[in-house]
Amino acid sequence: MNYRHAFHAGNFADVHKHVVLVRIIERLCEKPTPFRVIDTHAGAGLYSLRAPEAERTGEWREGIGRLLEHRFAQDSDRLLAPYRDAVARFNPAGRLAVYPGSPLLCRALLRPQDRLIACELEPTAAAALARNLGRHRRAKAIAIDGWTALRAYIPPPERRGLVLVDPPYEQPDEFTRIADRLARAHGKWPTGIFLGWYPIKDRAGPELVASRLAEAGVPKILRSELSIASSAPERLQGSGLVIVNPPWRLADDLATVLPAIAAALGRGDGRSARLDWIRGEG
């Protein structure tokens, strides 16, 4: 498949990925020492929900649009608040017009001592990323291949932080690649947090990622999956994340919020949330 950000900005998979991303950053911020976020496939960073690509699919309406309209229970609402607030910051008129991608969400949450490296190779997206991040002391856009960046920028000087790996799945071996590269990256930076996203169309690719990471000896791997029954069955129906070295209590956070998101965004019997340990604390 070919998962291009502009067509899917703000959809249920973005909501899933970005809720988890924001929860990780919130946990990192609990300690005063600085950290670094490395976004290997950052995209353009900010997406108009009125652009032809977003209008063509309308996927954001069943994602961030539905999430913002839903009334959650108190515990879930508290956990979702930093993500919702970050999205609202880019829509000051109170009406959804744009959706921030992972690099801008990260930048919005960084403290003065923290840093972001956002990597994008495709020329149009890379130029947009540089514009959208702007001249910011804490954030830097770099035109580089994401897999090269994964080798080049770890471990970071801060020694604490998160690497987000979110490739477009254009190549048939992408599931094998993300598992193998995450395992190698963990070998270079055993204390780093790694967040890898994958689409779910069947179980073969996701199970390959899980088994290869486990076989590589990565000791702590949490898996988070969200499935929906969309009004358009031809669209992507499932989103998955592997989290290597999840921060303390992240599993508790996700155990609360994932079923709530599935209930808010999904339809009928096709909606589900899965949270389990591939290796480690389970």
Marked catalytic residue, from 166, 180, 252, 269: 166
Backbone phi and psi for residue 118, each to the nearest 5 degrees, phi listed first: -115, 120
CA angle 236, 12, 244 (to 5 degrees): 90
Q: 32: alpha, beta or left, given left = phi > 0 and alpha = psi -120 to 50?
A: alpha
Q: How many C-beta atoms lie closer than 10 Å to residue 219's C-beta?
A: 12
Q: How far apart are CA 82 and CA 180, in angstroms?
A: 32
Strands 238-244 and 221-227: antiparallel
Backbone phi and psi for residue 48, each to the nearest 5 degrees, phi listed first: -75, 130
What is the token pair recorded at 216? Answer: 């590589």
Structure-token match 């950053």, residue found: 25
145 is catalytic: no
Single-letter amino acid, residue 90: F
| CA 266 to mean position of chain CA atoms | 19
| CA 258 to mean position of chain CA atoms | 14
Q: Which residues are known to be catalytic?
A: 166
